[in-house]
């Protein structure tokens, strides 16, 4: 076996062959030996220039005092400090970072006569970590601001939701009204892209609308707010469903059909005359409402899918049909967004409209306030989920009887 060089030669190679700073200090924390990397760090020309000097000759006073106290404690206790990250402040204002290990230095009799240390410069790594932390804090602050804005927007959207559905005739109590309204609104985030709207347009007529912006979060809320604003200007055609939806589409198209936005929305608008039972509906790519009639299986309000019409904000001059139905006392109608039946199970199968219809048939005869939550429960049970991943909105009404109108 080839003999290794002597220990002195090996120590010499270790000291000056590494870029880590290696040094030895006496009991007063003064340098007694150091390597070339240490000399270069402190600007010493030779391996003798730093002998006898201490950190007070090299660093800003506060940093030097902290380092001196630490080294004295190490020598007093005999306990080393390993892998400590230190911030070094220099007299010219520079700041560097190092990973430092300091170990008690003992003589042949085992007495502590100083310390020796190894220091590795980690400035670039530390600066990068500090910048990353700063970026994270900035992003977190921005996120908090956005979330607060979203919370405020969500609170403002509460004003759009149904609180006191209308009664017919006017002035009647909710129990005396000839029509009973209910709705369910499940938001999956602070803001929503769904709009539900019930508004009397005469003493005997009520307009209902359900809109669903095809987006989530802030984009969806923006679309919903635009729609809500436009609805306030369509009162002149409120009694004409097809004209109402066409006018809504005309005004939405230039606002939503942009390269930077490209939002779409489905909508179902209907006008019910509670004195005759006449229900007129215009559909813009929205799911077809459900009709529940006593003594008959629940069914779609109409079967012709062509009558669904195109989605809003896709064609600038799209035409929409008005479908007329005749409701009887005891009939119920349910409007809903497609996220209700698009939930999927673990195999990727959607609950689908067929299952929605089948479940509705099984619930026929129950009051509307029981049917709507039960549909939600069935959908979530099928998906094996506790909550919907997209906004779900439903409007249901039950026509108790036709309102008598004085001649």
The pLDDT of residue 138 is 75
Give the mean pLDDT per block of 10 residues along the chain (407 residues). Answer: 67 81 94 92 92 92 92 94 89 88 92 93 86 77 61 55 80 93 79 78 94 73 75 90 94 74 83 97 95 95 85 89 96 95 93 95 93 96 90 93 87
The pLDDT tens digits for 229-280 are: 788 788 899 999 999 999 999 988 887 766 555 678 899 999 999 999 999 9
Structural contact between residues 256 and 264, judged by C-beta atoms closer than 8 angstroms = yes
CATH number of this structure's domain 161-399: 3.60.40.10
The pLDDT of residue 46 is 92
The pLDDT tens digits for 282-334 are: 999 999 999 999 999 999 999 887 788 899 888 888 999 999 999 999 999 99
Question: 7-121 and 161-399 share one CATH topology?
Answer: no
- Provide the residue ranges of all domains of the chain, joining segments of one domain with +: 7-121, 161-399
Whether the model clears a pTM of 0.85, i.e. scores above it, the answer is no
CATH number of this structure's domain 7-121: 3.30.450.20
């Amino acid at each position: 076996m080839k003999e290794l060089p002597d220990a002195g030669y090996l120590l010499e190679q270790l000291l000056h062959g590494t870029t880590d700073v290696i040094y030895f200090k006496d009991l007063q924390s003064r340098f007694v030996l150091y390597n070339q990397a240490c000399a270069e760090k402190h600007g010493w020309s030779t391996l003798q220039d730093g002998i006898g000097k201490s950190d007070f000759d090299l660093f800003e006073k506060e940093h030097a005092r902290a380092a001196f106290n630490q080294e004295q404690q190490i020598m007093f206790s005999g306990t080393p400090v390993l892998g400590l990250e230190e911030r070094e402040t220099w007299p010219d204002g520079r700041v560097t970072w190092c990973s430092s290990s300091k170990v008690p230095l003992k003589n042949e009799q085992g007495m502590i006569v100083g310390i020796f240390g190894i220091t590795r410069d980690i400035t670039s790594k530390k600066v990068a970590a500090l910048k990353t932390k700063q970026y994270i804090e900035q992003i977190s602050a921005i996120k908090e601001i956005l979330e607060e804005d979203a919370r405020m927007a969500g609170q403002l959207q509460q004003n759009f939701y149904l609180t006191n559905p209308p009664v017919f005739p006017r002035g009647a109590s909710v129990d005396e009204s000839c029509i009973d309204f209910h709705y369910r609104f499940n938001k999956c985030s602070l803001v929503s892209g769904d709009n539900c709207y019930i508004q009397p347009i005469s003493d005997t007529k009520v307009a209902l609308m359900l809109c669903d912006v095809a987006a989530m979060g802030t984009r969806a809320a923006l679309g919903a707010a635009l729609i809500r604003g436009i609805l306030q200007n369509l009162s002149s055609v409120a009694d004409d469903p097809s004209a109402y939806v066409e006018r809504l589409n005309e005004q939405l198209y230039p606002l939503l059909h942009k390269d930077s936005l490209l939002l779409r929305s489905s909508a179902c608008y209907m006008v019910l005359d509670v004195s005759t039972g006449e229900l007129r509906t215009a559909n813009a790519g929205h799911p077809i409402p459900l009709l529940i009639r006593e003594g008959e299986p629940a069914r779609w309000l109409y079967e012709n899918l062509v009558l669904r019409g195109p989605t809003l904000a896709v064609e600038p001059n799209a035409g929409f049909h008005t479908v007329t139905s005749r409701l009887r006392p005891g009939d119920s109608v349910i409007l809903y967004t497609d996220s209700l039946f698009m939930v999927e199970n673990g195999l990727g199968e959607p609950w689908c409209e067929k299952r929605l219809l089948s479940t509705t048939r099984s619930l026929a005869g129950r009051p509307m306030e029981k049917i709507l939550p039960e549909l939600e429960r069935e959908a979530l049970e099928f998906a094996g989920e506790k909550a919907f991943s997209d906004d779900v909105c439903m409007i249901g009404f039950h026509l108790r009887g036709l309102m008598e109108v004085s001649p």
